[in-house]
Amino acid sequence: MQRRHQKDQTFSGRSGNTGESNPEDRKKEKKQFIMIAPMLKYQLLVHHRELSQVLNELRKLGIAHIDTTWNDQDAAAKEDQLRNYRRLQERYQWLSNFKAADLPENPPLNTEALIIETDQIRTRLSELEKETRETRLRWKVLEPWGDIPAGRLQSLQEYGIYTYFFHCPAGSFQQDWKKEMALEIIHEDKHQVHFVVLSDRLIPPSLNASMLDLKDASLQELAIAQHQQQQEHRALRERLMTLAACIPMLLAEMLRLEEESEWENVLNGTQVLADGKLHLIHCWVPENRSELFVSFLNHSNLVWKVSRPTPDESTPVLLQNDRFSRLFHPVGELFSLPAYTELDLTPFFAPFFTLFFGMCLGDVGYGLIILLALTVLKWSRRAPALRNILTLGQFLGTSAAVFGLLTGTVFGADLSKHSAEWLVQWQTYFLSVDQLFNLSLSVGLIQILFGMALRVWNRSRLFGWLYGLSSLGWILAITGGLLSVGWNRQLSGMVLVIAGLALIIFFSDPGKGLLSRFGLSLWDLYGVTGLFGDVLSYVRLFALGLSSGILGFVVNNIAFSLLDGRSVIGILFFVIILLFGHGLNFAISTLSAFVHPIRLTFVEFYKNAGFTGGGIQYNPFMKKHFKTES
């Protein structure tokens, strides 16, 4: 433990570790943690009166991930904070649909006033849309009748003459009705007949037609109502556009609530000691930022201790990969972050994922569409927050185009069967169906063996080299089995098989006795049945690529069959079927080419690599900032 200007041995004893790891420790740490930033754990002992000040300084520093395991904050208070935040977020998302105008001359006084006015306008817009629909429906009913003179009809009624309005299907209208009563057809078309009947009876005549109550209806009044509704709708939308200019007010309040929630979470998440007089803050800092953190501690009047995380602690994870591997972080996070003590598999599955996408889509045309579309979107700078996703899409599109060249597939057209002279010399290089099938299985087996090799590496560095021998035995046994079945008959693969089985049997769990190891090894050997299933799962790479090409080929055949001479209709349907068919095939194939490699990665590869997952995202306690897209 250390304290500036004062030695203190009352808290867990005195420690000579100042947080500055020596070069040998740093070298060892870098070897232990590959692709995951090494962390140092700091424990800060703070008096309760200084807690808020220390936390505020830590937030300004912005590099410490604070453990909130001891958080006893009221659940109702948390729910209330979350409800308020979602309320603001929902209004922000709704106002974002409107193009912001200039700031209003009379802006809302505060966020609550902005929310209230926004909700009032939303409610009125909803009511107005309902009224507009009713007015349009009423107009549709009245339009065949024209402008009805309600005053004259009232005068006729005073003299005992009643007016009844009917309509019926054209086929149901009977001409005899004209002879039986005073009937006049007002509007007639091939579907409906609208007619009026004058009668001296209070009870309307019984006809096979629908009667309408139009005595108080007026097209002129409806036209005025429609005009007023349109004006009100326009005024409300204009007001919403001015309110959209106040979105920064909502963002500021959302930011305040987020910071307040995090502050309460951290404040209530410290370990309380000495009947509440002392607080112990547990936090993690990346080792490459430790010098800055130690400098902060040395300039503060705090008792603190630094140590390296132990395997049983929930240490936060900060991934540090090269530019290419970082593009695949969103893909890996769909499953889980790696645990702090294990390997980050992102750099290892990234090349395979790119290859698998290309094998599943496998079309030059589709790949170029993805590449060009995302390139235009990326360089237009309309979605800066999605820049890494767009770059990932560019790599995947390139992979699909390259693999399409290897198979000779362009928008479903099989170039290996074309007789063009310039293609003949290249057709021998195109991969056949049998070659694609064998390639899928081979690539799958390679990835599985590669995953097992990573498992050997990970278990060896975590528990010692003895714990990696069992997985090494699987690699030797599989390799020996492949050699024995004919890949290279000049070499005896049985030696590798026997050696592999020996490693599996005797080193299944080096921490247990010989009999226990033997029993566990039998269970492990039973897993060979699952191994065959894992390898066969990679057949989907072949099947998806083949089905995409076949569907494109079928679309082309249907479309070209409609090109009957120079018929305009034939050309029109040719274009429609090509666009619709290839558009649908492109959408389905692209989705499948993304989903199935994910499945192969998370199931087959992760399982054979011994991936555990469950890591906690490194989230430093710091000031929050909203990033808005221009």
pTM: 0.76
Domains of the chain: 2-70+269-317 (3.30.70), 148-217 (no CATH), 323-416+537-615 (no CATH)
Question: In angstroms, what CA-CA distances link 549 with 555, 593, 600?
Answer: 10, 13, 21
Task: Using the Cα atoms of residue 290, residue 291, residue 292 and residue 296 in order, give the sign of their dihedral.
Answer: positive
In 175-203, which positions are buried (b, 16+ CB within 10 angstroms) versus exposed (e)? eebeeeeebeeeeeeeeebbbbbebeeee
Q: What is the pLDDT of residue 74?
A: 66
Q: What are phi and psi of 104, to 5 degrees?
A: -65, 155
Nearest-angstrom CA–CA distance, 328 and 350: 6
SS3 for 476-499 is HHHHHHHHHHHHCCCCCCHHHHHH
DSSP string, 411-427: TTEEGGG---HHHHHHH
Phi and psi angles of residue 418, each rounded to the nearest 5 degrees, phi first: -85, 150
CA atoms within 13 A on the CB side of 442: 8
pLDDT of residue 285: 95
Beta strands in 403-553 (DSSP E): 409-410, 413-414
Query: Are residues 200 and 163 in contact, defined by beta-carbon separation less than 8 angstroms?
Result: no
For position 344, what pLDDT does the model report? 92
For residue 564, the one-letter residue type is: D
Whole-number Å distance between alpha carbons of 534 and 343? 22
User: Encoding tokens for residue 68?
Assistant: 């909130």
Burial class (CB in 10 A: 0-12, 13-18, 19+), 9: exposed
How far apart (Å, rounded) are the C-alpha atoms in residues 225 and 85?
Answer: 39
Residue 469 structure tokens: 């021998």
Separation between Cα atoms, residue 13 and residue 246, nearest integer Å = 56
Task: Report the pLDDT value the prediction gives residue 30, as an integer from 0 to 100.
Answer: 43
What are the pLDDT digits (tens) for 22-64? 444 444 444 444 579 999 999 999 998 989 999 999 999 999 9
Structure tokens at 346: 């992102």
- Note the pLDDT of residue 28: 44
> Residues of the chain whose pLDDT is less than 70?
1-34, 72-74, 100-106, 215-217, 382-384, 419-420, 422-424, 486-492, 511, 513, 516-521, 523, 526-527, 565, 626-630
Q: What pLDDT does residue 393 have?
A: 94
Q: How far apart are the C-alpha atoms of 430 and 210, rounded to whole Å?
A: 72
Distance CA 215, CA 609 (A): 81
Distance separating alpha carbons of residues 236 and 239, to the nearest angstrom:
5
* Residue carrying structure tokens 């006729």: 156
Contacts of residue 76, defined as CB under 8 A and 6 or more positions apart, other chains included, come to none
